[in-house]
Amino acid sequence: MQGFKAVASLLIRRSKTERARFIAHSHNKNLSSIPNSNSTDDDDLDKQVLVEGKAYSRTAILNRPSALNALNTNMVLTLLICSSDFSFSIFVSFLRTLSYCFESVKGSGRAFCAGGDIVTLYNLVKKGKLEDCKEFFRTLYTFIYILGTYLKPHVAILDGITMGGGAGVSIPGTFRIATDKTVFATPETLIGFHPDAGASFHLSHLPGHLGEYLALTGETLNGVEMIACGLATHYSYSERLQLIDQQLGQLVTDDPSVIEATLEKYGDLVHPDKMSALHRIETVDRCFGYDTVEEIFEALESEASGTNDAFCNSTLRRLKEASPLSLKVSLRSIREGRFQTLDQCLVREYRMSLQGISKQISNDFYEGVRARMVDRDLAPKWNPPSLEKVSEDMVEHYFSRLSEMEPDLDLPTEQREAFTQLQ
């Protein structure tokens, strides 16, 4: 229980001085939030997550629009504390008194959530603050597990950029509304990392080998494609979201079928356009169904050589931009995720994430973020620089604990049983 206790202890420290104010705000004000005085963010910590209380529901609003609502530890802790279904932790049992039927989450600005705040992680790694990075991953993955085993209906409104950790804090929930502004991706291999935050679970359960394609290339899906492949449950044009929000706010129910009927009433019937990768699913399955990354490259090159196929050529270009090590560990991660429960995926991803940032195996995460997000020269120097130089031992090491003394991620599985397929 060491990992879960660490998160709970952190919740105590961050919430003790906030409890009275949080309860007062939830009952007496329209918007409230929980600050974190220990964070080093330049943002107003008291407003990074806003909580909009309605008669029988509650909405969490991710509110870092200038950072595309990228998640930091403070934000995830706020989401945890705001979740009254987290009542099996005695440390936040005071929230049991806040009665509501269901919960929703949305983002401010042009993004739902662009994922974890990787620039902050980059700077922490640079300063040698690995424990702070561990705290972020522990907190985020714990919240994702709780969301995935939530007893009350949960509605995520994915209006805008939804990437990485943004998918992690939404897809495990009951309902996901995609819109004409939604842009989904798991672009971690392009920064020397791996699709995490539960991605090895939800990507591996997509049709055919679409999950491998998305994980390795980092290609985007729009809202129409998300609902077509099952990542979203509903689709609505962005201009109608205010009406949906109003209708949800009037509901007095915790019955998922009633909430679903409301979403369907204001939903739109759409189909992927002819250029969608979903129309190339046979090619995707044929090429990405192989056992190794090298064989996937060969299959794509073979497909492209005879016909100069634009889709295959574009896919090859994307793969060549990614970290060779990340490609290999990500492929294995998706393959393992196909036969694991959500909690098992998160425990494995936690090991992988710590290895990815620790520099024990490679400097690729640090180099990838530098090249794409810090210096923006788009010229990362991957190490190893090619697939053939990525050894089996390196890949195997990526899935192991940092050390024999390093505890694994501890999730509250005794209280909440993980599901075995994408909802």
Q: Which are the catalytic amino acids? A: 116, 165, 188, 196
d(CA 14, CA 316) in angstroms, rounded, equals 46
From the list 125, 36, 107, the residue with the least C-alpha distance to 66 is 107
Residue 51: which residues within 8 A CB-CB, separation 6 or more? 25, 26, 31, 32, 33, 58, 59, 60, 61, 78, 82
β-strand partners of 126: none
Alpha carbon distances (Å) from 105 to 53, 56, 142:
12, 15, 17
Segments in 267-309 forming alpha helices (H) = 281-288, 293-307
From the list 82, 77, 68, the residue with the least C-alpha distance to 31 is 82
Contact 257, 228 (CB under 8 A): no
d(CA 233, CA 227) in angstroms, rounded, equals 6
Torsion of CA 101, 79, 412, 39, to 10 degrees: -160
